[in-house]
Chain A
Amino acid sequence: MKILNTRALRGPNLWGLHTAIQALVSCSGQEYFLNRMPGFEDRLRERFPQISSFPPDAALVSALELAALGLQAQAGCPVAFSRSVATLDPEIYQVIVEYTEEAVGRLAMELALELSAAARDDLPFDLSSALARLRDLDEEVRLGPSTGAIVAAAVVRGIPYRRLTEGSLVQFGWGSKQRRIQAAEMDSTSAIAESIAQDKELTKKLLDSAGVPVPKGRPVTDAEDAWAAACELGGPVVIKPRDGNQGKGVAANVETREDVLAAYHAAHEVSPNVMIEQYLTGQDFRLLVIGGRLIAAARREPPHVTGDGKHTIQELVDEVNSDPHRGSGHATSLTKIRLDEIALATLAQQDFDAGSVPRKGARVILRNNANLSTGGTATDVTDDVHPELAARAVAAAQMVGLDLCGVDVVCESVLTPLENQAAGVIEVNAAPGLRMHLQPSFGKGRPVGEAIISTMFDERDDGRIPIVAVAGTNGKTTTVRLIAHLLGLMGNRVGMTNSDGVYIANQRIDTGDCSGPRSARNVLFHPDVDAAVLETARGGILREGLGFDRCNVAVITNIGMGDHLGLNYICTVEDLAVVKRVIVHSVAPHGVAVLNAADPMVAGMADVCPGSVTFFAHDRHERVLANHLAQGKRGVFVDGDAIVGAKGKLRYRVALSEIPITRNGTIQFQIENSMAAIAAAWGLGISWEIIRRGMATFISDASTAPGRFNVFSYRGATLIADYGHNPDAIQALVQAVGSMPANRRLVVVSGAGDRRDEDLRQQTEILGEAFDEVILYQDDCQRGRADGEVLALLRDGLKNATRTTRTEEIRGEFCAIDAALARLNPGDLCLILIDRIDESLAHIARRIAEV
């Protein structure tokens, strides 16, 4: 068994809405079925007892699949979905396993393969080290507890998110409505305010001016002045260098003249500027202020042990660490105490070492900070905080200018105002750790993530911009452009992706085929996008899934006879429909799927749509449409000389004569595109007035819609250039040009090598019924076909042509165009099926200019 390739499906995909690893696995000979490998299952279960049960006749790949899922689950990842699917190739399977972290999913797949091999060959497999690797990797790559809690709160609110880095920078919402966080910082968190918070003296000065109690104090000039200041303050004092760090040169709880003088000199060695301030006695509290409200409060204690008069400090620490609640990372509510260098230095300050035996009841501090990650503890006291005390914390945050901060308070109790105790605010911390409030060591966790999200997003705002996803075999690009045009008329700056590029507010910012998830994500990241219309091609869906979790409107123009069949194990139109259906599946509960009722493959997708459906079809009597209308649901169809939107008794008409791209209703495929776009706009809540105005003002020419039925005039003949390259598209073009008067009809056509033989042949079969002369051309790029192979197939299709009287074969697209132009007389019509859109259009424009 071999894994041929793995892919990460990062958005909604063929298999569901979850992120998943998809592996292409080959099995050879005897490996297919487990029951042909005696003892395999037993050996597998010996090595990984927690693996789910599977039927005895399961394929070996099922063992791989369930192992990859089970390993992740055992490592603590909340995953549940997996599948194995056979392909047409009897030796090849697709294995799909959900992941929460891509890297973990990939590793789990590798380890599952190792496990399977070990079970097959009866070799050892170290399960605990495998799980440890997965766990460690998960802890390394997944969001930290603070960011994770915020993201979780956003997900509950339906706010989409995307990690912008491997770190904790996260985008919430899309386009112009996006916000960002980075751990416990919001994008509105002021850099200046953070600088202020970092300057403890400045912070204290500002808090003092705002009437927030802070420890009294002042800078001192010399040792005698320090003593004088200590006397002014009365009681124990702290003496410290003004700009020191990590507690260097700081002496706390100093009272006697001798100690004050000594402490002054120690501080003076670190910095010439020495501060003296009141030593506040009491406990350390952290008050979390978000958006001007107190959200949580915790009492914090540094890691410590209590002496019993018998055991050494080392033994006491070991005793504390034996508590199963103490883990080594962020996953548990307590962390083990480390007896490291810092701890030993802290002990030394108290005249202890690891071997000392403190007397019974003595409290031995092992670190001068109360961070959970170094073994400290936090006890939730949110409900105890006196409103006046809370008001001071809020005032402190406001004065510093932080919308999200932790206010450190030293006081005996939070039950009474600070003013009634010898208490004060000693520090304001930007980007505070949230874990102590989310998972305090003791007491209730607080909804901190929710508070941050509700500060950034109003109650009804989910940060989403309207998204329209469009898929189908033909007409996607024009439909996308039409919908974008209508959204633009409403005043939106529209982001649009299609097979020509990425457009933001009508400006192309990227070129090439941009109908995949990467371009979609770029549009949704762009700060100037108010609405997005995304052409969603099959390739991206298969490769990576969708670039968004949900859309407001999904449009499927048609499936027809299909295109690109045979690639990526998509061999039938049914398979293709399942791929395109992914966008219908991603419609939001209040969203709309716009489906072609005349195409049975498309109409059938209505069943998977979580929202409502609007059907469109030329003929209102189309069975699916008629039934839908009869139930009072929305439908769009052609009635006489207008496209009509109907729901119950309501009728909205848009005259075909007012839709220039339909050429007064003569071009059938543009009517189809118009109906799809109108239905989508209706689904978005765009007014009919704007829809009518938009349809009337939409222009499709070589500059706005290159390769989409671009009509030119050349020496009195009519040229039509189009990118159509599958039987459905060619059928539609034949219909469209059929309505245009002409003396003689010529067509220039080639074929793409990656299409199936029958599809290539079929193209010219259709053309042979409608054109007098056919010019076949072949380009350099044969996409895997031998020289002349495509031309032969095209020629083959013309064998029984009823109309074509002349056929010519030419190498090179430009030469073929030139040959056709040379044969044209006034009144003739020539359809040029171009392949290299921009270059050929430029070539045609040059020839026209030469006339």
Chain B
Amino acid sequence: MKHRDIRFLEILSLRGPNLWTYRPVLEAWVDIGELEDCPSNTIPGFVDRLCAWLPTLSEHRCSYGEPGGFVKRLQEGTWPGHILEHVTLELQNLAGTPGGFGRARETGVRGVYKVVVQAWQEEVTRACLHAARDLVMAAIEDTPFDVEATHARLREIAGRYLLAPNTSCIVNAAIAKERGIPSIRLSADNLVQLGYGSRQRRIWAAQSDRTGAIAQGIARDPELSARLLESCGLPVVDADEVPEGQDTRHSYRLLVVGGSLAAAARMDAAEGDSLHAVDVTEQVHPATASAACLAVRVIGLDIAGVDVLADDIARPLVAQNGAIAGVHEAPGLIHHMQTASGESRPVGLAIVDHLFPGGDTGRIPVVGITGSGGTTEVAHWVTEFLRLSGKFTGLACGDGLFLDRRRVEAGDCGTWRCGTHLLMNRAVEAAVLENSADVILGQGLAYDRCQVAVVTGIEPGRHYGRFYIEKPEQVFQVFRSQVDVVLPDGLAVLNAADPMVAEMAPLCDGEVIFFAVEPDLPVLQEHLANGGRAVFVRGGSLILASAAEELRLLPLAEIPFLSGNSSPERLKTVLAAVAAAWALGIANHVIRTGAETFSNEPADMTASDNSTPIFAPSIPLNA
């Protein structure tokens, strides 16, 4: 019996780069049943009702690329899945997360669609998706719908789950293209990790992980602060100097980040009790700026707000009875982001530059390994090369989660969750993550970008029947996600003997290293001729080849892993792993030593302790 409504068969949370986009999304599998026969133009009054409830839908461009495009599509006739996508995005917009990616795609099953919407924050998007379904159904069925109450509820949810403005201003500055620093939210509060593994820094509003607890305590003790500032010759506001309300001096808030002045605002009294910030950063006298910075050093903070009373911030404090009224830890940034004149100081960027000086992106080498098979062994091999090069390496793959030599968790750990655990771990100096097609399809990648991506080979048939995947092009789309996220200075390691994999080379933002047993493959030869690099076998030896030279790394006979009647798969594993190690910049002699010494069973060589921990991790990351 067919139904006539919108049903969610499944809602996948793709928490990292995925088939659709680099950003986290929710992918809803939607069954619209008989509504498949009811495009929007056939439901009387539907478009008007929808546009009346959500007038801002008129801004959506959709496929026409201009405002009003989506309304035009509604009028011409489009299906509920597509409408659901736009309505969800619009509800997110109204809840405070504007813009974002959306898609609606048919599956091979009649009436079933994949509706994809960008998830700034999973809970908020989930709530918007459900509200959108109810709203669209009400418009279809011409039943009442309380739009205002829905907005209010969604705004409340957004307020509860989204990062607070102080934190999001820093995070947004970090992840913006100019800095390209990855972020992981660590708690429901505003605790956010910037960067990965051992290179990470943490923030919590305008506090960094180097904001000292002692300094914080001093800042919170006004008497002690004043005494310490005074002993360093700084003018300090005397509490009983001027009766409150009769002080004619202006009140200023100076933001000091990493030892220099990042912003300054004059706080003018506006109507009621509210204050009204005027940006005066450019006017601050250098002596006044250096007094504020000294005050922050005396207290011992790395990021602080300094309250200053002065007639004019453009003059030195001593010349005008100016004084410091307090030094605050975790200062508010909002005054500098939303000034009365509408100017906005890049305070988030100032904090990011302080945490990651000199253009540092806070990244550790991340290797993503994907393909239809052989990926676990390649992952172990690459891990061993990294370990041999001296790095504390984490590995999340099909047979466990490993920290250095220790297996922390058994079972299939080539997952978003385990990968994220590695990237959160402050000990990890390099991470190797195996990603199956199912992980890319069902969870998303754990990292935003990677240093090296390895694609071992693709057998499309192995992936049919799940996630509505049924064509080779779709399988290609899945695996290319891995290559898409290679950093511009990163590399893709691709199997030249697999035409579908070799075809991904142009998709990579960075360099490509091909590997294959046969050196004479045309695609490989062409790559070398164009200045590319490749790893292959010639004369019984493993060769590292570039246009300029062919380096004989070692004879295959000296690789114990390949001794006896080893399978061709094993040789492929060694080639891929050696190519990845080369891509990581590991020295040739280290690669050679590794190839000569790695034991037969990669899983054994990594796991020094085969005991399964009694306490398998169980607390979900986003609990």
Interface residues, chain A, CB within 8 Å of chain B?
164-165, 169, 180-182, 185-196, 199, 201-202, 204-206, 208-211, 213-219, 278, 395, 398-399, 401, 419-422, 424, 430-431, 502, 504, 509-510, 521-522, 525-528
Contact = CB atoms under 8 A, between A and B. Distances in A.
Given A214-B619, A420-B611, A526-B232, 6 more contacts: A190-B212, A190-B213, A202-B187, A204-B619, A401-B202, A431-B213
Contact of B619 (A187, A190, A218, A399): A218
Given A195-B204, A526-B232, A190 B403 contact: no
B228 A189 contact: no
Contact of B214 (A187, A216, A399, A424): A187
B203 A192 contact: yes
A418 to B, nearest CB: 8
A218 B623 contact: yes
A443 to B, nearest CB: 29
Interface in B567-622: 609, 611, 613-621
Contact of B424 (A196, A210, A509, A525): A210
A210 B26 CA distance: 27
Interface stretch (B216-224, B270-278, B359-367): B216-224
A116 to B, nearest CB: 38
Contact of A210 (B228, B233, B427, B615): B427
Contact of A430 (B210, B213, B616, B619): B213
Interface stretch (B82-90, B96-104, B292-300, B338-346): B292-300
Given A210-B421, A430-B213, A527 B232 contact: yes
B546 interface: no
A399 B233 contact: no
A189 B214 CA distance: 7
A187 B212 contact: yes
Contacts of A195: 191, 204
Contacts of B217: 169, 182
B383 to A, nearest CB: 15
A187 B613 CA distance: 36
Contact of B613 (A419, A504, A510, A527): A419
B377 interface: no
B328 to A, nearest CB: 13
Contacts of B298: 526-527
Contact of A398 (B228, B426, B618, B623): B426
10 contacts: A169-B217, A181-B214, A186-B214, A188-B212, A192-B202, A206-B186, A211-B409, A214-B619, A419-B609, A526-B233
A395 B232 contact: no
Contacts of B493: none
Nearest to B213: A191
A309 B317 CA distance: 77
The winner among B409, B420, B425 for most chain A CB atoms within 10 A is B425
Contacts of A187: 212, 214-215, 300
A398 B427 contact: yes
Contacts of A521: 231
Contacts of A181: 214
Contacts of B209: 190, 192-193, 401
B256 interface: no
B224 A205 contact: no
Nearest to B421: A209
Interface in B181-202: 186-187, 191, 202
A180 B615 CA distance: 39
Contacts of A191: 207, 211-213, 215-216, 329
Chain B contact patch, size range: 35 or more
Contacts of A401: 202, 209, 426
Contacts of A186: 212, 214
B406 interface: yes
Interface string B289-308: 00000100110100000000
Query: Lowest 7 A-B CB distances belong to which pairs?
Result: A509-B233, A211-B408, A209-B421, A191-B213, A522-B231, A208-B617, A527-B297
B426 A399 contact: yes
B208 interface: yes
A218 B620 contact: yes
Contacts, number: 151
B386 interface: no
B431 interface: no
B617 A180 contact: no
Given A196-B191, A213-B614, A525 B213 contact: no
B401 interface: yes
Interface of B: 186-187, 191, 202-204, 207-218, 224, 228, 231-234, 294, 297-298, 300, 329, 401, 403, 406, 408-409, 420-421, 424-427, 609, 611, 613-621, 623
Given A189-B212, A195-B204, A196-B191, A210 B232 contact: no
A509 B232 contact: yes
B294 A528 contact: yes
B301 to A, nearest CB: 9
A213 B619 contact: no
Nearest to B203: A192
A431 B202 CA distance: 20
Contacts of B208: 192
Contacts of A211: 401, 403, 406, 408-409, 421, 425, 613, 617
Contacts of B617: 208-209, 211
B207 A525 contact: no
A164 to B, nearest CB: 7
Given A211-B408, A213-B614, A214-B615, A522 B215 contact: no
Contacts of B215: 187, 191
B187 A199 contact: yes
B425 A210 contact: yes
Contacts of A190: 202, 209-213
B214 A525 contact: no
B214 A510 contact: no
A188 B298 CA distance: 14
A426 to B, nearest CB: 12
A181 B421 CA distance: 33
A466 B202 CA distance: 36
B213 A189 contact: yes
A217 B620 CA distance: 10
Contacts of B615: 213-216, 278, 419, 424
Contacts of A424: 615
A193 B209 CA distance: 7
A324 B14 CA distance: 65
Contacts of B613: 211, 213, 419
Contacts of A201: 623
A525 B232 contact: yes
A421 B614 contact: yes
Contacts of A522: 231-233
A443 B424 CA distance: 38
A502 B619 CA distance: 58
The winner among A194, A202, A215, A219 for most chain B CB atoms within 10 A is A202
B421 A192 contact: no
A526 B215 CA distance: 15
B233 A502 contact: yes
A424 B216 CA distance: 31
Contacts of B420: 209
Nearest to B407: A211
A219 B618 CA distance: 11
A202 B619 CA distance: 10
Given A206-B186, A401-B209, A180 B408 contact: no
Contact of B425 (A169, A193, A204, A209): A209
Nearest to A508: B233
A509 B621 CA distance: 53
A219 B409 contact: no
A214 B619 CA distance: 10
The winner among A169, A194, A217, A430 for most chain B CB atoms within 10 A is A169
A205 B191 contact: no
A215 B619 CA distance: 10
B285 to A, nearest CB: 14
A66 B234 CA distance: 45
